[in-house]
A = this chain, B = another copy of it.
Amino acid sequence: MDRVIRLGLLGCGTVGSGVVAILARESDDITERTGAKLEITRVAVRDLTRRRMLPLDDAVFTDDPAAVVEADDVDVVVEVMGGRDDAGRMIRRALQLGKPVVTANKELLAHEGPELYQAAGAAGVDLAYEAAVAGAIPIIKPMKESLAGDRVTRVVGILNGTTNYILTRMAEEGVDFRAVLSEAQALGFAESDPSADIGGHDAAAKTAILASLAFDTAVHADDVFTEGIEGVSLTDLRVADRLGYVVKLIGIASEVDDRVAVRVHPAFLAKTHPLASVRGSFNAIYVEADAAGELMFYGRGAGGEPTGSAVVGDIIDVSRNLLQTARGAVESQHRAKPIRPMEELATQYYVLLDVEDEPGVLAQVATTFGDHGVSIAQVWQEGSGGSAQLVLITHRAREADLRGTVTALGRIGSIRSVASVLRVEAEVFES
């Protein structure tokens, strides 16, 4: 029981500090479970002069990540520095040296994940990345291990806490988007540059990682059709509520006829769907599999300690394997599956139109939908005069046809604007 696994941390920000704190706090229990003491011997930081309130000796700090990776007294590399180029180089080098890697780097994996998994495979070394998607929520291991003998058919996630917090407050308190965002920024819940969150790009990166894993293929962040929540209005939320829906920013990945469909956008979700009850800054991932059926995983998607908890779980896994010269579960070999063009999506749509309150508008609108092969399920008018709005819910239609409809609607004089178009995800409803 006197074996020691020596950890080298790349980065010591929010997540790194969480990892250090948890390892210190749970040291005895972890030793008991792994049969070895886990010791942090090296930590690479950007600014050596910054004081850190951590239970670590000053001598462990360096500002050279490469020195950590190369060090003889580092057995496992824990990459929590973020960013793409340097982090990717460090991870590749560590794998080459036969050192297992634990990473929380969603940006890197969303662009180079499948290549890195292959590099780990070639080196016969563990690369664990539970913390890269949805913080504390165990989702990578369940997909890679628990569902290893099953076939995942669809993944639907609420993967960004900031946008879910904003949408929840808008819906529950009637406060508009800008006001909630400013307040969230003031409280530190939202970044000062929130574009990656509210634009859906953060969720898209996580969706790419999940899609790659679920469908054994290489989905890159850029493959993900992405729309943010900037355009979601209080009217949209009110209409959704009245019809029995909530509005959520979701990432959806599915396999359809050997092609992968993958997209991130705000959508109407039925209130009875388990994802609809995910409020505030929580994340959740809903998984459909052939044998297991419907599964959902819920929890904190960010934060130093929640994300740190996932990193430490991975560290314990790879350490146990290292002690036994074994390797953990691996991804399936990748098949190159094409990405289905977004235009081929078929779903229901909600369309909100600002219109002149005059006779004949509805007829023109209905004709336009009909001309493009989009069938209307429900329609009603709200307000009158200068603030008249038409609300339409379509039957299932192709994205290409809906887009054609919207373009044509824009040309009708009595329509002042197409105020909103949101997808209605009836297809993921609980049966």
- From A291, A298, A330, A333, name the one whose CB has the most chain B CB atoms within 10 angstroms: A291
Determine whether the beta carbon of A292 is less than 8 Å from that of B296. Answer: no
Q: What's the Cα separation between A140 and B330 when bound, in Å?
A: 20
A124-139 interface bits toward B, Cβ cutoff 8 Å, 1 = contact, 0 = none: 0000001000001110
B150 touches A309 (CB 8 A): yes
Within 8 Å CB of A200, what residues of B? none
Interchain CB contact under 8 A, A130 and B149: no
A22 within 8 A of B: yes
A382 within 8 Å of B (CB atoms): no
State A25–B272 Cα separation when bound (angstroms): 32
Complex: A330 Cα to B150 Cα, angstroms: 24
Contacts of A278 in B (CB 8 A): 274
Check A146/B150 contact, CB under 8 A, given A299-B296, A300-B294, A305-B291. no
Contacts of A137 in B (CB 8 A): 295
B30 touches A149 (CB 8 A): yes
CB distance B145 to A141 under 8 Å? yes
Contact B308 A291 (CB under 8 A): yes
- Determine whether A297 belongs to the interface, using a CB cutoff of 8 Å to chain B: yes
Distance in angstroms from A403 CB to nearest chain B CB is 34
0 or 1 for each of A274-308: is its CB under 8 Å from B? (1 = yes): 10111100101000011111111111100101101
Q: Considering the complex, which residues of chain A in the window 298-337 have a beta carbon less than 8 Å from any beta carbon of chain B? A: 298-300, 303, 305-306, 308-310, 312-313, 315-317, 320-321, 324-327, 329-330, 332-333
A300 touches B305 (CB 8 A): no
- A147 at the B interface (CB under 8 A): yes
Q: How far apart are the CA atoms of A145 and B149 in the complex, in Å?
A: 19
Choice from B130, B274, B294, B309 contacting A277 with Cβ under 8 Å? B274
Confirm or deny: A151 has a beta carbon within 8 angstroms of a beta carbon on chain B: yes
Complexed CA–CA distance, A137 and B297 (Å) = 9
Which residues from chain B contact A325 at a C-beta distance below 8 Å?
A: 324, 326
If over half of A's interface residues share one DSSP class (helix, strand or loop), that class is named, otherwise mixed; here it is mixed
> Known interface pairs A145-B317, A146-B310, A149-B313. Does A136 touch B330 (Cβ–Cβ under 8 Å)?
no
With A274-B298, A277-B277, A332-B29 as contacts: A293 and B136 at CB distance below 8 Å: yes
Q: Does A26 contact B (CB under 8 A)?
A: yes
> Measured between C-beta atoms, what is the minimum distance from A299 to chain B in Å?
4
* Residue of B with least CB distance to A312: B149
Could you tell me if A148 and B33 are in contact, using CB atoms closer than 8 angstroms? Answer: yes
Tell me the smallest distance from the CB of A151 to a CB of chain B, in Å.
7
Among A279, A298, A308, A327, residue most surrounded by chain B Cβ atoms (within 10 Å): A298
A-B contact pairs, 20 of them (CB 8 A): A18-B291, A22-B149, A26-B150, A29-B149, A32-B332, A33-B332, A136-B293, A138-B141, A138-B295, A141-B142, A145-B313, A149-B309, A149-B315, A149-B316, A274-B282, A289-B309, A291-B305, A293-B303, A295-B298, A296-B299
A-B interface, 10 closest residue pairs, ranked by CB to CB distance from nearest:
A149-B312, A326-B326, A136-B292, A296-B298, A138-B146, A277-B277, A291-B309, A295-B299, A324-B326, A292-B309
- 15 more A-B residue pairs beyond the given contacts A138-B141, A293-B300, A294-B298, with a C-beta to C-beta distance below 8 A: A29-B149, A29-B151, A32-B332, A32-B333, A130-B146, A136-B289, A137-B295, A146-B309, A147-B313, A279-B430, A289-B309, A291-B309, A292-B309, A293-B303, A317-B329
